[in-house]
């Protein structure tokens, strides 16, 4: 599974894996793919440093990358307290009433809620970059917008390729104008923040729009035939996020959540603003239903919603409140039916890819070639 891009990066398979877990990122790179560590949860530079130390030591000398979040709409010049003050009381009451209805206990004193607004601020992403550029990262990816020109320059000065996620051809062209090196065309099926165009439609549109920039197809890819389809559409590789959540190297800290993911079918996700205020695909739960119910108060815009629900989400996870328990995940969740190692996922992708190519060759009358 070699493309011009995979050869440029010196990887065996053109499979890029986004993950919030260093152990998964390292395993993807070791298995011949390209592991990309999500940085949004690292609000303390020392934590990122610790995990990059670990990743660097465990990637087997293979290349890896980092994904930061620099939203196009900036959250600057305001403190977390300023944002807190903008949250209406009725929304706070709704959170507490919903948690009370399901008997979700509070956090112990001193237990941090998982989410901080700071992870979405450009100045924090910049401190993450200061740390990251001390490591031999080969790729820097940005979600939710084009990276600023000086960041692109800094990356290029260090021979680091710059990628950005796009949900439409228009976004992809903006990224191209910003001087990036590759576009991740992420379809509607994907886990996390998504646009409204399906991968099958989006990928060739983006490939044509940004030609000759390489494009990675993302969203709804979890098998070899899907990889073959993405490459047929002109992508130079695939970018997978959901599939790694149920690998043995992932650490969701919740057996109940893993069970829910393994049991979920492809129709069990929803694109909801419940988590961050922007549409993000996630497991459909009674929590997302409550937020999406027209009888409720509705969600707040980013970053207010994220801050509003941060502690509630931590409480739901800590106490494994099953009906409310969820995570960003894409429609491919329906194929995630057993826990496997990252290596087993890669083996399945590459074998399935070869079978798909053989099949197409037979259809094209080229059997035996
Ligand atoms: C749990 C989870 C968290 C994600 N967080 C981010 C993120 O912080 N930054 C980002 O660029 N993409 C994020 N994504 C999206 C992935 O980078 C990727 O585009 C997407 O998962 C691909 O579609 P798939 O889920 O169908 O594999 C996330 C996806 C998941 C499943």
Q: Indicate whether this model's pTM tops 0.85.
A: yes
| Nearest alpha carbon, ligand 1 atom 1 | 328
Distance 192 CA to ligand 1 centre (A): 5
pLDDT tens by residue, 41-80: 898 899 999 999 999 999 999 999 999 988 666 556 677 7
The alpha carbon of 133 and the centre of ligand 1 are apart by a number of angstroms equal to 22
Confidence label for 226 from pLDDT (cuts 50, 70 and 90): very high
CB of 114 within 8 A of CB of 317?
Answer: yes
Report CA(50)–ligand 1 centroid distance (Å).
22
Query: With bands split at pLDDT 50, 70 and 90, how would you rate the model's confidence at 185?
Result: very high
Mean pLDDT of all residues in 270-282: 96
**pLDDT value at position 327?**
97
| Per-residue confidence band for 340, with pLDDT thresholds at 50, 70 and 90 | very high
What pLDDT score does 120 carry?
62
pLDDT band at 110 (very low <50, low <70, confident <90, very high): confident
By alpha-carbon position, which residue is closest to atom 18 of ligand 1? 241
Share of the chain above pLDDT 70, in %: 94
Residue 284 pLDDT class (50, 70, 90 cuts): very high
Lining ligand 1 with CB less than 6 A are 18, 38, 40, 67, 69, 141, 143, 165, 186, 189-192, 218-221, 239-243, 327-330, 332
Name which residue sits closest to atom 15 of ligand 1, judged by CA: 192
Contact call for residues 180 and 147 (beta carbons, < 8 A)? yes
pLDDT grade, residue 323 (50/70/90)? very high
Residue 118, pLDDT > 70, answer: no
Between CA 26 and CA 272 the distance in angstroms is: 31
Q: How confident is the model at residue 279 (pLDDT cuts 50, 70, 90)?
A: very high
Query: How many Å apart are CA 193 and CA 36, to the nearest integer?
Result: 17
Average pLDDT, the chain: 93
Task: Please report the DSSP string for 281-341 in residue order.
Answer: EEE--HHHHHHH-TTS--PPPTTHHHHHHHHHHHHHHHTT-GGG---B--GGGGG--S-B-
pLDDT at 114: 56
Closest ligand 1 atom to residue 40 Cα is 8
**pLDDT at 71 (0 to 100):** 67
Q: What angle do CA 32, 38, 39 make, to 5 degrees?
A: 135
Q: Residue 302: its pLDDT value, please?
A: 87
Q: For the ranges 114-123, 128-137, 265-274, which has the lowest average pLDDT?
A: 114-123
How far is it, in rounded angstroms, from Cα 266 to Cα 226? 15
Ligand 1 center–CA 365 separation, angstroms: 38
* Domains defined for the chain, CATH in brackets: 4-367 (3.20.20.70)
pLDDT bin (cut points 50, 70, 90) of residue 121 is low
| Residue 344 pLDDT | 98
Task: Kindly give the number of the ligand 1 atom that is closest to the alpha carbon of 143.
Answer: 11
Q: Is the pLDDT of residue 119 over 70?
A: no
pLDDT above 90 for 213:
yes
Other beta carbons within 10 angstroms of residue 251's beta carbon come to 12
Q: How far apart are CA 42 and CA 62, in angstroms?
A: 23
Ligand 1 atom with minimal separation from the 69 CA: 9
CB 29 within 8 A of CB 138: no
Are the CB atoms for 137 and 160 separated by under 8 Å?
A: yes
């Amino acid at each position: 599974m070699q493309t011009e891009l995979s050869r440029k990066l010196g990887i065996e398979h053109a499979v890029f894996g986004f993950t919030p877990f260093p152990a998964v990122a390292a395993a993807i790179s070791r298995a011949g793919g390209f592991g990309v560590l999500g940085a949004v949860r690292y609000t303390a530079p020392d934590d990122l440093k610790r995990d990059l130390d670990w990743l660097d030591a465990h990637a087997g000398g293979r290349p890896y990358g980092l994904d930061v979040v620099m939203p196009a709409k900036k959250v600057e010049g305001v403190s977390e307290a300023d944002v807190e003050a903008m949250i209406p009381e009725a929304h706070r009451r709704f959170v507490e009433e919903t948690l009370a209805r399901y008997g979700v206990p509070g956090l112990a004193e001193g237990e941090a809620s998982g989410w901080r607004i700071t992870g979405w601020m450009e100045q924090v992403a910049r401190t993450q970059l200061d740390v990251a550029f001390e490591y031999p990262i080969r790729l820097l990816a940005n979600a939710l917008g084009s990276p600023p020109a000086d960041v692109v320059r800094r990356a290029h000065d260090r021979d680091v390729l710059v990628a950005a996620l796009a949900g439409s051809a228009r976004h992809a062209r903006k990224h191209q104008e910003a001087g990036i090196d590759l576009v991740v065309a992420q379809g509607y099926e994907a886990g996390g923040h998504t646009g409204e165009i399906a991968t099958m439609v989006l990928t060739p549109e983006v490939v044509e729009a940004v030609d000759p920039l390489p494009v990675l197809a993302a969203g709804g890819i979890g098998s070899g035939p899907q990889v073959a389809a993405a490459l047929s559409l002109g992508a130079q590789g695939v970018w997978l996020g959901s599939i790694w959540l149920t690998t043995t190297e992932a650490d969701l800290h919740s057996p109940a959540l893993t069970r829910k993911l393994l049991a979920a079918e492809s129709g069990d996700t929803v694109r909801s603003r419940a988590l961050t205020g922007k549409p993000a695909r996630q497991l459909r739960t009674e929590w997302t239903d409550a937020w999406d119910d027209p009888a409720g108060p509705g969600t707040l815009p980013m970053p207010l919603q994220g801050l509003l629900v941060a502690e509630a989400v931590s409480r739901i996870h800590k106490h494994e409140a099953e009906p409310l328990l969820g995570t960003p995940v894409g429609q491919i969740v329906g194929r995630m039916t057993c826990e496997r190692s990252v290596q087993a996922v890669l083996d399945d992708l590459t074998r399935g890819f070869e079978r798909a190519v053989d099949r197409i060759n037979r259809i094209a009358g080229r059997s035996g070639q």
